[in-house]
A and B are shown apart, each in its own frame.
Chain A
Amino acid sequence: MAATRIRTAIIAAVAYLIGIIFILPYVEMVITALRPQKELLDRNYLPHHFTWSTFTNLWGSNLNVTSGLETSLEIAGGATLVVLLVALPAAYYTARRKFRGRGAFLLLVLATQILQPTVLIVGLYKEFINFGLQHFSPVWSLILVNAAFNLAFSIWILNAYIGSIPAELEEAAMVDGTSRLGALFKVTIPIAMPGIVTALIFTFIAAWNEFITALTLTTNPSQYPLTVVMDAFRGAYEVDWQHLFAASVIATIPVLILFAFIERRIVGGLTAGSIK
Chain B
Amino acid sequence: MSNIVTAGPAAAGRTQDQPPVRRQRGYPRVRAILAPLPWIGPAIVLIGLVVIWPIVVMFQTSFQHITADGINIGSAGWRNFSGVLNNANLPGILLRTVIWVAVVVGATMFISLGLAQLFNQRFPGRTVVRWALIAPWAASVMMTALIFRWMLDPNNGAINILLHQLGILHGFNSNQSAWLANPDSAMAAMMVVAVFVSVPFTTYVLLAGLQTIPGELYEAARVDGASRWETYRRITLPLLRPAFFIGLVINLMNVFNSFPIIWEMTQGGPGYETSTSTIFMYNLKAINVGQSAAMSIVNFAIVLVIVFAFLRMNRRTLQEAR
Residues of A within 8 A of B (CB): 8, 11-12, 14-16, 18-20, 22-23, 25-26, 28-29, 32, 41-45, 82, 85-87, 89-90, 92-103, 105-116, 118-127, 129-130, 144-145, 147-149, 151, 155, 159, 163-169, 171-172, 175, 205, 208-209, 211-212, 216, 227, 230-231, 234, 239, 241, 244-245, 248, 251-252, 255-256, 258-260, 263, 266-268, 270-276
Contact = CB atoms under 8 A, between A and B. Distances in A.
B255 to A, nearest CB: 11
Q: Which of A208, A251, A263 has the most CB of B within 10 A?
A: A263
A98 B146 contact: no
Contact of A166 (B5, B50, B58, B137): B5
Contact of B121 (A11, A147, A168, A171): A11
B205 interface: yes
Given A86-B46, A118-B278, A241-B150, A260 B118 contact: no
B218 interface: no
Given A22-B132, A211-B260, A275-B212, A114 B118 contact: no
A127 B209 contact: no
A28 B135 CA distance: 13
Interface stretch (B83-91, B182-190, B230-238, B307-315): B307-315
A241 B156 CA distance: 13
B296 A120 contact: yes
B40 A165 contact: no
B133 A19 contact: yes
Contact of A270 (B20, B44, B205, B209): B205
B12 A166 contact: yes
A157 B281 CA distance: 33
Interface in B279-322: 281-282, 285, 289, 292-293, 296, 299-300, 303, 306-307, 310-311, 313-314, 316-318, 321-322
B75 interface: no
A123 B293 contact: yes
A234 B264 contact: yes
Q: Which of B196, B242, B314, B316 has the most CB of A within 10 A?
A: B314
A120 B54 CA distance: 6
Interface residues of B, number: 117
Interface stretch (B93-101, B102-110, B219-227, B246-254): B246-254
B78 interface: no
B254 to A, nearest CB: 8
A144 B205 contact: no
A147 to B, nearest CB: 6
Contact of B16 (A103, A119, A167, A255): A167
B51 to A, nearest CB: 5
A168 B6 contact: yes
Contacts of B317: 272-274
Given A144-B50, A164-B13, A106 B200 contact: no
Contact of B156 (A42, A230, A231): A42
Contacts of A28: 147, 150-151, 158
A251 to B, nearest CB: 7
B123 A97 contact: no
Nearest to A124: B54
Interface string B124-152: 11101101111111111111101111110
Contact of B17 (A98, A130, A230, A251): A98
12 contacts: A8-B123, A22-B133, A114-B250, A119-B278, A121-B296, A124-B54, A126-B57, A127-B54, A165-B12, A212-B260, A256-B138, A270-B205
